[in-house]
Amino acid sequence: MTGDPTALPHPVTGAPFPSPVPAGTGWTGDPAASDTEVADGPVDLARLSQAPTLSLLEARTSVCAACPRLVGWREQVAREKKAAFAGEPYWGRPIPGWGDSEPRVLVVGLAPAAHGGNRTGRIFTGDRSGDWLFASLHRVGLAAQPTSRHAGDGQQLLGARMVAAVRCAPPDNKPSLTERDTCAPWLLAELRLALPTVRVIVALGSYAFDAVLRSLRALDGSVPRPRPVFGHGSEAVLGAPDGHDVLLLGCFHPSQQNTFTGRLTQPMLDAVLARAAGQMDWRGGPQRQ
Ligand code: SF4
């Protein structure tokens, strides 16, 4: 990549990359290779999402190009950048699931931020929402470090995994219904592969909450009736396809809109994540409060 005049140094490794980052060129944490198959539309995506392992799923997700508007947006943001990050390369690709490959806790968000995950290549990494989330995950024992600045910073999730319902940064944080549905098989595949060990799902916001319920139904898991209602601290026991119980916790999204206004405070976030972390060592179904 050193011959590319648009290449900029990665803030951790110093290696030069163009924006967006081509697959398999050495970006820390890039799960794809240069020959990873690309989903160019929903038909390809349906086939490629049948990956037999989480690592192959991550690789295929990270090169997906099935939504023309979102591909154009994520790459435009990557090229144009924000002034504060003008000297950095931007990932500019979909953000795959990240964390433990046999998680007990699964954290589900909406979509990557244009100058957060879309820049750093890692979910909730490099933006204010992530600052709140990782600080709290660290306080409750689910993350190794209190900050998550960039891939390659040494951060690790401990018994936990994070995914976004929609894997590309959307304009105004609002994917269209078509984009939501086009991306759904990636989340479905992630749940199919991860659910055997998952005991708790934390849904950050109602969008993620609804995506989890839709996915569980599509996987022939069980969802209680009446349908669970999202709220901060809401709890519902779902049935995984193999029959084990999964506790679904609702949590306000740590967006600046919520944290600046005090709708979500650190103690509120800690309380939900501590409830999730409290399930880590328990070997049966969820412990009811
Ligand atoms: S939003 Fe999902 S389906 Fe659409 S291009 Fe990104 S990864 Fe692919």
Closest CA to 93 of 148, 11, 23: 23
pLDDT of residue 46: 96
Q: In this structure, is residue 289 part of a structural domain?
A: no
The preferred substitution site among 76, 110, 166 for testing ligand 1, maximizing ligand atoms within 8 Å of CB, is: 166
What integer is the mean pLDDT of 40-63? Answer: 97
Query: How many Å lie between the centroid of ligand 1 and the Cα of residue 145?
Result: 29
What integer is the mean pLDDT of 263-267? Answer: 97
Residue 1 has pLDDT above 50, yes or no: no
Query: What's the whole-number average pLDDT of the chain?
Result: 95
Q: In this structure, is residue 171 part of a structural domain?
A: yes
d(CA 229, CA 235): 9
pTM of the shown model: 0.95
Q: Are strands 200-204 and 245-251 parallel, antiparallel or unpaired?
A: parallel
Residue 161 has pLDDT above 80, yes or no: yes
Which residue's alpha carbon is at the smallest distance from atom 3 of ligand 1? 183
DSSP string, the chain: -TT-TT-EE-TTT--EE-SSPPTTS--TT----TTPPP--SHHHHHHHTT-SSHHHHHHHHTT----HHHHHHHHHHHHH--GGGTTS----S----EE-SS-SEEEEES---TTTHHHHSSTT-SSHHHHHHHHHHHHTTSBSSS---STTS---BSSEEEEESS-SPPGGG---HHHHHHHHHHHHHHHHHHTTT--EEEEESHHHHHHHHHHHHHTT-B--SSPP---TT-EEEEE-TTS-EEEEEEE----HHHHHTTSS-HHHHHHHHHHHHTTTT--SSPPP-
Q: In this structure, is residue 286 part of a structural domain?
A: no
Q: In this structure, is residue 283 part of a structural domain?
A: no
Residue 286 has pLDDT above 60, yes or no: no
Q: In this structure, is residue 282 part of a structural domain?
A: no
Q: In this structure, is residue 133 part of a structural domain?
A: yes
The preferred substitution site among 47, 110, 123, 168 for testing ligand 1, maximizing ligand atoms within 8 Å of CB, is: 168
Give the model's confidence band at 283: pLDDT under 50 very low, under 70 low, under 90 confident, else very high. Answer: very low
Q: pLDDT for 179-194, tens place per residue?
A: 999 999 999 999 999 9
Q: pLDDT for 124-142, tens place per residue?
A: 999 999 999 999 999 999 9
Q: In this structure, is residue 287 part of a structural domain?
A: no
CATH code, domain with 246: 3.40.470.10
Q: Which domain holds residue 175?
A: 8-277
Q: In this structure, is residue 3 part of a structural domain?
A: no
> How many domains does the structure of the chain reveal?
1
Residue 280 has pLDDT above 80, yes or no: no
Angle between helices 177-194 and 54-61 (to 10 degrees): 160
